[in-house]
Amino acid sequence: MSNMLKNVGLVAAFAVAVHLIMKTDASEQTTRPSAEHKPYTQFIDMALRGDFEEIELRGQDGREVRALDSNGTLIVSRIPVNENIMNRLYGERVDVVDLSARDKPQEAGFMSRLFLTLLPAALLIGFMMFMMRGGMKGPGGGGGGGGLLGGKSMVKKFNARDCDVRFEDVAGIDEAKAELMEMVDFLKSPGKYTRLGAKIPRGALLVGPPGTGKTLMAKAVAGEAGVPFLSQSGSEFVEMFVGRGAARVRELFEEAKKSAPCIIFIDEIDAVGRQRGGGVGGGNDEREQTLNQLLVEMDGFDGTEGIIILAATNRADILDAALKRPGRFDRQVHVGLPDLSGRVRILQTHLRNKPIAPDVDVKVIARGVPGFSGADLANLANEAALFAARRGDNAITQADFEGAADRIMMGAERKTMIMTEQEKRLTAYHEAGHALCALRAPGADPIHKATIIPRGGALGMVMQLPEGDRVSLTRQQAHARLAVCYGGRVAEEMVFGADKVTTGASGDIQSATAMARAMVEEWGLSDKAGAVLYASSRQEQAMGATGRSRSISEVTSLMLDQEIRELTDLGKVMAEQILTDYRGELENIAEALLKYETLSGSEIKIVAQGGTLTRDPSQPPPDETPKGPGTFGATPANDTGNDMRPPKPL
């Protein structure tokens, strides 16, 4: 993909401008992931349509404008130098508030000055985007009719028709979608559930990296159910309503009770929901009060009202445990980065209304952008349209897509991971190593799925699912888990050589060590250590107990460490044995992972034996999740740390 050079030559000025815009965009997004940056032309258009109630002037020079649109999304733009926004909006039903004094001097720095010098180009591009979008969507929609009347509540209520997102607009995250379907049904006819005394979901936490479609999905639930969508971002509770966070929460729920059945959506919930009292120097009272109020409100209704609370975060681990208790956000729905088939379908969704040249092959495009999120793909579709517009063409060609992909990937540091071909190969072998050990180690839990799509810091993963509820582990099963843990690293070593191995296995090594430690210190699965519970004494020791209070001797401690080492070594040897004996199967699985990116458990078995899959790589793998009654297919939010639970993804 290096059509870029040619294109840059043709439109050098544009290239620079777009590049800078993207950079600014990215740095802004680090601080406020929910902000949507729009060209000024679009911003004004929205204002004139009545999409905003209030516009804030921000930035040191007062030329940054921010407003909440009718979906509660923060829209950000900049006023061009020769423009007077007050004149433009005089007589319109929108308040303009100057808050630029609030912004510290350093906030509007180098970037915005660069921005200003490049404004003419930026405007032109903005105008083109405006034309393209305007062309396909058309005006209408109406916006919130209330205008300034009736107070300045930022929590807005929308008619069902205003939330026009549907499930069909959300592509490539089928598992998450399936889990939320039930909620739609409940919102449509709550009576059906309450009559039978069924336990009704009260809330779900959408967990996943930025841009994967969490907000989109929440809107789709409301859109599908035809109920109002009340949304508020967690960071707004703490930033925009300083001193009023708790009151805002109360108002939000009051409004929800009036509008029920409805959806409350709290974006970036980690901004308020972080572990209480965890901060250095006593924590943040304001935030804690807001969080407490949220907990009170969530407990305050019994689930028959028809209010469902969805929240989004990319860090479920830092949330206060109280939020994840039963009756609150007791369901976590994982929204991951899309795999190849997901990317194909997301791209198709975003190309629905764009003119596409006959040479365009969506599968080829999707294959070239591993690690792209839904938002990246939406961006890709738009960039490609820009390329075409610049050429003066009226259809987007394959070359446009390639140029756009190059540009996005070369753009500033990106938050989402983009894997190089080499990383992808290494990950494929790593995961294939885990998978093969899970297939071949006697007593290993059946393999459920393997993927080389990055997720939560890991480059790929293998998931196993024990059959039925596991209440105990046999020694054999424990050894198998150790072998599976080491399968990844061992495969890397065998295929790429000892000095090419990566740090990617650190999580595996951690799991293996924890497993071996439990075997020795808690479960009595080591002959030398015997069936003695050492765990608590060891913990005491680690915490620095000395002298007589120490209940475990230095010698014993050393022996335990040796036993742990012995067990982990044994696991590694088992993995080496398996991968050597079945090297051909390792290759088969890795090749299939490179081709398909995600494989189901039964697919792995087929390809390991040298079979071929009939599935087209652009189709998703079959869902083989066992669905128990009423489990909703979700992971329990409160992780008890019980070691009998299914093995962690590796």
Binding site, by residue number, is 208-215, 430, 434, 508
Rounded Cα distance between 253 and 157, Å, is 12
Binding site residues for Zn(2+), as ranges? 430, 434, 508
Options 208-216, 501-509, 516-524, 623-631: segment touching Zn ion (CB under 5 A): 501-509
Options 16-24, 211-219, 320-328, 408-416: segment touching Mg ion (CB under 5 A): 211-219
Options 48-56, 89-97, 139-147, 169-177: segment touching ligand ADP (CB under 6 A): 169-177
431 is known as an active-site residue: yes
Tokens, residue 347? 């791209």
Determine, following the binding rule CB under 5 A, whether residue 650 of this chain makes contact with Zn ion.
yes
Residue type (1 letter), 11:
V
Minimum distance from residue 249 beta carbon to Zn ion (Å): 41
- Mark 273-312 with x for binding to ligand ADP (rule: CB under 6 A) and - for no binding: ---------------------------------------x
- Mark 216-255 with x for binding to ligand ADP (rule: CB under 6 A) and - for no binding: x---------------------------------------
Q: Tell me the torsion sign for CA atoms 449, 453, 454, 459.
A: positive
Determine, following the binding rule CB under 5 A, whether residue 233 of this chain makes contact with Mg ion.
no
Decide the pairing of beta strands 307-313 and 447-451.
Answer: unpaired
Contact between residue 276 and residue 236 where contact means Cβ atoms under 8 Å apart: no
Nearest to 212 by CA among 72, 342, 21: 342
Determine, following the binding rule CB under 5 A, whether residue 77 of this chain makes contact with Mg ion.
no
Q: How many residues bind Mg ion (CB under 5 A)?
A: 1
Residue written as token pair 């582990």: 473
Decide the pairing of beta strands 95-98 and 203-207.
Answer: unpaired
Q: Is 120 left (phi over 0), alpha (psi -120 to 50) or beta?
A: alpha
The residue among 190 and 210 lying less far from ligand ADP, judged by its C-beta, is: 210
Rounded Cα distance between 474 and 480, Å, is 10
Determine, following the binding rule CB under 5 A, whether residue 215 of this chain makes contact with Mg ion.
yes
Phi/psi for 37 (5° steps) reads -90, 130
Q: Which of 288, 431, 576, 585 is catalytic?
A: 431
Determine, following the binding rule CB under 6 A, whether residue 205 of this chain makes contact with ligand ADP.
no
Residues near 320 by beta carbon (within 8 Å), at least 6 away in sequence: 273, 274, 275, 276, 291
Q: Give the one entry of Mg ion, ligand ADP, Zn ion, none that residue 172 binds, where binding means its C-beta sits below a cut-off of 5 to 8 angstroms depending on kind.
A: ligand ADP
Minimum distance from residue 540 beta carbon to ligand ADP (Å): 44
* Share in percent of the chain as helix, strand, coil (round to 5): 50, 10, 40
- Shortest-Cβ-distance residue relative to Zn ion: 488
The residue among 406 and 445 lying less far from Zn ion, judged by its C-beta, is: 445
Determine, following the binding rule CB under 5 A, whether residue 231 of this chain makes contact with Mg ion.
no
Rounded Cα distance between 648 and 475, Å, is 18
Q: Give the one entry of Zn ion, ligand ADP, Mg ion, none that residue 223 binds, where binding means its C-beta sits below a cut-off of 5 to 8 angstroms depending on kind.
A: none
Contact between residue 415 and residue 210 where contact means Cβ atoms under 8 Å apart: yes
Q: How many residues bind ligand ADP (CB under 6 A)?
A: 17
Phi/psi for 579 (5° steps) reads -70, -30
The residue from 39, 72, 143, 172 that contacts ligand ADP (CB under 6 A) is 172
Determine, following the binding rule CB under 6 A, whether residue 256 of this chain makes contact with ligand ADP.
no
Determine, following the binding rule CB under 5 A, whether residue 459 of this chain makes contact with Zn ion.
no
Contact between residue 382 and residue 393 where contact means Cβ atoms under 8 Å apart: no
The residue from 179, 508, 576, 585 that contacts Zn ion (CB under 5 A) is 508
225: enclosing H helix or E strand: helix 214-225
Minimum distance from residue 484 beta carbon to Zn ion (Å): 9
Determine, following the binding rule CB under 5 A, whether residue 212 of this chain makes contact with Mg ion.
no
Rounded Cα distance between 146 and 159, Å, is 12
Determine, following the binding rule CB under 6 A, whether residue 213 of this chain makes contact with ligand ADP.
yes
Determine, following the binding rule CB under 6 A, whether residue 144 of this chain makes contact with ligand ADP.
no
Binding site residues for ATP, as ranges? 208-215
Contact between residue 34 and residue 233 where contact means Cβ atoms under 8 Å apart: yes
Q: Tell me the torsion sign for CA atoms 130, 135, 141, 142.
A: positive
Greatest extent of the chain over all pairs of C-alpha atoms, in Å = 85
The residue among 381 and 438 lying less far from ligand ADP, judged by its C-beta, is: 381
- Mark 245-284 with x for binding to Mg ion (rule: CB under 5 A) and - for no binding: ----------------------------------------
**Bridge partners (DSSP) listed for residue 36:** 75
Phi/psi for 637 (5° steps) reads -75, -35
Q: Give the one entry of Mg ion, ligand ADP, Zn ion, none that residue 650 binds, where binding means its C-beta sits below a cut-off of 5 to 8 angstroms depending on kind.
A: Zn ion
Determine, following the binding rule CB under 5 A, whether residue 255 of this chain makes contact with Zn ion.
no
Rounded Cα distance between 19 and 383, Å, is 11
Determine, following the binding rule CB under 6 A, whether residue 211 of this chain makes contact with ligand ADP.
yes
Contact between residue 488 and residue 430 where contact means Cβ atoms under 8 Å apart: yes
Minimum distance from residue 586 beta carbon to Zn ion (Å): 14
Contact between residue 449 and residue 460 where contact means Cβ atoms under 8 Å apart: no
Rounded Cα distance between 90 and 54, Å, is 13
Minimum distance from residue 488 beta carbon to Zn ion (Å): 3
- Contacts with Zn ion by CB under 5 A lie at 488, 508, 650
- Contacts with Mg ion by CB under 5 A lie at 215
Which residues are designated catalytic?
431
- Contacts with ligand ADP by CB under 6 A lie at 170-173, 210-216, 312, 346, 349, 374-375, 378
